[in-house]
Amino acid sequence: MKDFGIKTEDLKDVGAFFGHRISRCHPKMKTFVLGIKGSDHINVIDLEKTKEFLIKTLEYIEELTKQGKTILFVGTKVASKNLIEEFAKNVAHPYVSERWIGGTLTNFETIKKRVDYLKDLEKKRESGDLQKYTKKEQLEFDKIIERLKLKFEGIKSLEKRPDVLFVVDIKKDALAVKEARMKEIPVIAITDTNVDPTLVDYPIPANDDAKSSVKYILDKIQQVIIDNKK
């Protein structure tokens, strides 16, 4: 079995083992907890299990990539939003780094119309078609474009619902996970000690708050996608 170069020592160095206080530990995450650290009673995640589940996830992503499947990457918390945006652009997959828009998966047809409207306005602005309007009207179009870009820039490439969802923090983006489950879209997610790992198909038990921990996982995923893209 491939190990994708994953080492528990590296996971430790990036702080992937830090969970939340034991008072916030979800009962279903206890199987991934190795012990307790410090006077703050912080849960310590078992990095052997992190490695095991990350490898399993990377094998899945490897197969998805070979099949040309689309993964929608979601990370809206402050610590990870820039990471997600940069990562998703590197691997040419859609992303959501701002607030999750309700209905993105469950009411995709309506969302798609808004995205198409954005793309149409951008095309008209680039071609000069908006110059026939007054300066005040052009300014209003600019404002509309910027508002729509803030919401939909990362999903402009989506012509249909994504095949898989990846979520950095399923507590912060619980609605995204809920919509994916409603539409039977598989979910990959980093699962910190304060969440229910059974809500996702491919959990990766790890610290979802530390930028270094999230970046390590995204870097491994990026390498797999780049190596296996058609």
pLDDT at 210 over 90: yes
pTM: 0.93
Per residue in 11-65, pLDDT (tens digit) is: 999 999 988 888 778 989 999 998 777 666 888 999 999 999 999 999 999 999 9
**One domain, residues 129 and 99:** no
**One domain, residues 54 and 81:** yes
The fraction of the chain above a pLDDT of 90, given in percent, is: 87
Give the pLDDT score at 21: 84
**One domain, residues 89 and 187:** yes
Domain harbouring 17, CATH code: 3.40.50.10490
Residue 118 lies in a domain: yes
pLDDT band at 229 (very low <50, low <70, confident <90, very high): confident
Instruction: Report the alpha-carbon distance of residue 175 to residue 122 in Å, rounded.
Output: 29
Calculate the average pLDDT of the chain. 94
Average pLDDT over residues 178-207: 97
Q: Count structural domains, the chain.
A: 2
C-alpha 122: how far from chain center: 26
pLDDT at 121 over 90: yes
